Structure 1
Amino acid sequence: MKRIEFIKTTALATAGLPLLSGFRIPMDQDLIPKALLMGYANDQLVGTDYQLERQTWSTFEKMSAAAAADGIQIEVASAFRSYDRQLAIWSGKYDRFTKAGMSPLAAMEKIIEYSTIPGTSRHHWGTDIDLIDGGASPRPKSVLEPQHFHGKGPFCKFKEWMDAHAESFGFFEVYTNNAKRKGFKYEPWHFSYKPVSQNYLAAYLKLDIKSELERLEIPGSKHMDVQFIEKYLQDNISDINPDLLP
């Protein structure tokens, strides 16, 4: 057995998971707290330098070890992100774009090319993670750019490894390079731990998100009419890698 095959098999056996990309951890979706799903509070997190949902963290550590055995140093660019942190990101961009002369609606449309409305980020769950090659040289100043992961980009070897092995650990690319896909632009760095996130998404889609967004004090929220919110939920939340849908 090749080393990488041995590591993957051992890692998943240790984690109690079969070597199946379609595996889903049994979970009562009705018991998943709204506070967790919307980033207000999450008691399922572990980690110090970065935080992830418990099972996600455990399996990610094993995947990182397997990558390291193949000479790939997986580095976390972003993991769990709270509602407050997402609000700060949103507010900063909204302020910058509107001060540059954009209308509130145009500013929000620009923001949601890559950033989520607070309370709607998959990073709130602790199952989603932005990854790069920590051993790449030279290191680009702005690491989360699609061109770095293709052609002669510094992260192309990392991308090749993830394409070949990530799904066997349960990690799937969320915003794929599919011209027919709507919503957020292509993010070759963003992966989600399917065995848990699939349950979280199913529970999230049962929430009355429109009502939640209406009551939150988010910059630009008074310009989020029903049409804007419904389109956002359809395109940005639901139009993702179909393998991750409930």
Structure 2
Amino acid sequence: MIDCSNDILTGLSEQHLLTRSDGFMLHKAVAQPFSALCTAAKAAGIEIKIVSAFRSYQRQAAIWQAKLAGNRPVYDQDGQVIDISSLTGKAKLDAVLLYSALPGASRHHWGTELDIYDAGAVPPDYKPQLEPAEYGPNGPFYRLQQWLSVYAAEFGFFLPYREFQGGVAAEPWHLSYQPLASVYLANFNADILRQCLIQHPLAEQQLVLTHLDAIFNRYVANICLAEL
């Protein structure tokens, strides 16, 4: 039985996680399949490393606050920095939501999501920017992207943001463990998220609550289907 408590769904619990030797936290049921995926990739000459895995509500709220305050860059789909101070209302929220999930609504809360890169394709001191060009035909991680498109499903993984569908931007680095993530998403809804935000206020709280149903439909429920 999968525990789909509201605290797990919204990033307020860590009871479902384990900590890997590299310090990243994953859902206990995801660690073994991810390890198997990495072993298979290594046999193909690809060294998968994690950039980000579990993120708590508090961590996501800090990212959200920094972007809305202009203390952290906000990018458009072309990789250009947006002047967030020039935007108002829902347009400001949409600009941030293109690449950063609303706190309480990030799939990374579940421990089923990983942002990854191929460490073997770049120098040891390379810092992945998690930009689409890095995973494109001329980027260092294109081979990883191609390999994942063929083999990720064998291990239960898929790319929920494989392509842009009007919500979250395309994220070829974002890997999700479908057997668990699909259950969490099916048990999640805007009402659960609303209660979380009322209990744990965040930047632009009232504006977010006003548009919450639309935000949920566009940025949470709107994913690319798994091809398993």
What is the TM-score of this pair, normalised by structure 2? 0.85
Q: Equivalent residue of 2:117, what SS?
A: strand
The one of 173, 198, 219 equivalent to 2:182 is 198
Question: How far off is 1:202 after superposition?
Answer: 1.2
The one of 79, 95, 119 equivalent to 2:104 is 119
Alpha-carbon distance in structure 2 between the residues aligned to 1:156 and 1:85: 29
| 8 Å CA contact 1:104, 1:220 repeated in 2 | no
Which runs of 5 or more residues in structure 2 are unaligned? 75-82
- AA aligned to 2:213 is E
What corresponds to 2:10 in structure 1? 38
CA deviations on 1:21-45 (whole Å, 9 max, x unpaired) are xxxxxx35xx521111110112111
The one of 127, 130, 150 equivalent to 1:144 is 130
| 8 Å CA contact 1:114, 1:185 repeated in 2 | yes
Q: Equivalent residue of 1:174, what SS?
A: coil
What corresponds to 1:23 in structure 2? none
Alpha-carbon distance in structure 2 between the residues aligned to 1:115 and 1:216: 18
Matched, 1:235 2:214: no
| 8 Å CA contact 2:190, 2:213 repeated in 1 | no
Name the % identity.
32
Matched, 1:212 2:196: yes
CA deviations on 1:122-151 (whole Å, 9 max, x unpaired) are 000000111111111257655200111111
Q: Equivalent residue of 1:243, what SS?
A: coil
Q: Which deviates further from its counterpart, 89-98 or 108-117? A: 89-98
| 8 Å CA contact 2:98, 2:169 repeated in 1 | yes
| 8 Å CA contact 1:79, 1:123 repeated in 2 | yes
The one of 23, 28, 34 equivalent to 1:54 is 28
What is the TM-score of this pair, normalised by structure 1? 0.80
| 8 Å CA contact 1:170, 1:194 repeated in 2 | yes
Distance 1:99-1:202 versus aligned 2 partners, 3 A rule: closer
Aligned-CA RMSD value: 2.1
Matched, 1:63 2:37: yes
Which runs of 5 or more residues in structure 1 are unaligned? 1-26
| 8 Å CA contact 1:47, 1:57 repeated in 2 | no
Question: How far off is 1:58 after superposition?
Answer: 1.1
Alpha-carbon distance in structure 2 between the residues aligned to 1:206 and 1:136: 40
Corresponding pairs, count? 213
Higher helix share: 1
